[in-house]
């Protein structure tokens, strides 16, 4: 299971951004990409911010337990489930430590920005995509 190294990458990148990138000073990497320091109190991409941290901690914990159960019951989708678990756990660690999730990847075209995200969000997205791809490929 690759979860520990993925969690390390996630937490190290979030720590570096939290300690070295002031919230009001984005770092331009490419014309369409910058590193920002955003405190996300909501769900993915900042939605549902009014629900509160405790709600997200409970929802994420339940989701992790369910995915672990599925993982150990069927090793068939181990890569996708591992990525989903690592992503959920990375963001749960933030919620427990800080009360919010550290987001820092900002992709944009001109003034139109995709909501900031992080390594955990990327792992979750890739894991869900792989899982759906595999499910649709079977059918």
Which residues partner with 40 through β-bridges? Answer: 101
Cβ atoms 100, 49 nearer than 8 A: no
77 has catalytic annotation: no
* Strand ranges for the chain from DSSP E: 27-30, 33-40, 101-109, 112-113
Tokens of residue 17, six digits: 């951004």
94 has catalytic annotation: no
Considering the candidates 10, 94, 106, 121, report the single residue annotated as catalytic: 121
Tokens of residue 92, six digits: 């749960």
Cβ atoms 86, 129 nearer than 8 A: no
Tell me the catalytic residues: 103, 121
């Amino acid at each position: 299971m690759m979860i520990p190294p993925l969690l390390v990458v996630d937490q190290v990148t979030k720590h570096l951004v939290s300690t070295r990138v002031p919230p009001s000073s984005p770092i331009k990497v490419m014309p369409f990409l910058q590193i920002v320091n955003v405190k996300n109190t909501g769900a993915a991409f900042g939605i549902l911010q009014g629900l509160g941290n405790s709600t997200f901690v409970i929802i994420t914990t339940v989701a992790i337990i369910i995915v672990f159960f599925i993982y150990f019951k069927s090793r068939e989708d181990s890569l996708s489930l591992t990525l989903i678990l690592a992503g959920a756990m990375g963001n749960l660690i933030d919620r427990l430590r800080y009360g919010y999730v550290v987001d820092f990847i900002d992709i944009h075209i001109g003034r139109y920005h995709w909501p900031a995200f992080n390594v955990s969000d990327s792992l979750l997205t890739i894991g869900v995509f792989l899982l759906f791809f595999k499910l649709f490929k079977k059918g």
